[in-house]
Amino acid sequence: MTPIRQGRNHSAALASAMCVLAVTGTVLTGCAEDPNEGTNGVGRLPAEKIQAKTRTAAESADAVRVHGSVVSGGRTYALDMRLKDDGGEGSVTTKGATFRLLRVGEQLFVKADAEFWSHGAGQGEGGKADAAAASKLGGKFVKVPQGDPSYQKFSGFTDKGVLLDGLLTLHGKLATDGHDEQAGIRTIRISGGKGSGGTLEVSLEGKPYPLRLERAGGAGTLTFSAWGQDFSLREPEKNETVDYGRQLPAS
């Protein structure tokens, strides 16, 4: 994949520098820089076509980093995930608890401290045994059985296709909403429902990747970076792993 080139386009910067006031008698004549000059051209397209091109670019990328917050089911999740087609890794924080997720192919692992596991396991008559189990799980990669209710929810955070498809959706009538800059990269903003349906910053440099998303209804803000930058994924070593069994402690 071709990485997004950082910084402003040289030709556009030169045009801006040359666009100075010229004196004609006593009248000052100015010239304005075209915000789409020297870009990938998507800023000149209707919002619907920009969104389509953005989705195509995102789907074709081998890898991406997703960082920010998502509100779902009344709970806020802080994410910092690196994703690619065959898995992903990173951290998720919710209600003050942080856990690490790692998926390689179909194998999903969760890593957290003993306190995390004790909150889910230390209930009922098995409290002491559960606490002992939690101490063994703490600091280890715990393999999540595919039949466990947690598998689908946790694996969704590590699935590039599922996560992006669920996130890169604006609601309501789409419209362009001005130009901006994200991490030194020029962007075009598109919005749904005059902003109430979410806003998305799309790169005007290189491929039209999504760079920043404000979800509808205040449901979180996410940034997207490292598009197409590969990273290694491997299953943890056996001495780093615990196989809890058929079902994890409820959490």
Whole-number pLDDT of residue 247: 57
* pLDDT at residue 13 is higher than 70: no
| 221 neighbors 68 (Cβ within 8 angstroms) | yes
Tell me the CA end-to-end span of the chain in Å, nearest whole number: 39
Look at the pTM and tell me if it is higher than 0.75.
yes
| 197 neighbors 213 (Cβ within 8 angstroms) | no
Two tokens, residue 77? 């999740």
Whole-number pLDDT of residue 152: 85
The mean pLDDT value for 224-250 works out to 84
- pLDDT per residue over 94-114, tens digit each? 988 899 999 999 999 999 998
Q: Please give the backbone phi and psi of residue 22, each rounded to the nearest 5 degrees, phi first.
A: -110, 140
- Distance of alpha carbon 201 from alpha carbon 212, whole angstroms: 5
The mean pLDDT value for 236-243 works out to 89
- Distance of alpha carbon 51 from alpha carbon 245, whole angstroms: 44
What amino acid occupies position 225?
A: S
- pLDDT per residue over 139-149, tens digit each? 999 999 888 88
Whole-number pLDDT of residue 66: 97
- pLDDT per residue over 148-178, tens digit each? 888 888 899 999 998 898 888 899 999 999 9
Mean pLDDT of the chain: 83
Residues of the chain above pLDDT 70, percent: 79
The mean pLDDT value for 29-40 works out to 76
Q: Which of 140, 158, 154, 153 is nearest to 231 (CA)?
A: 158
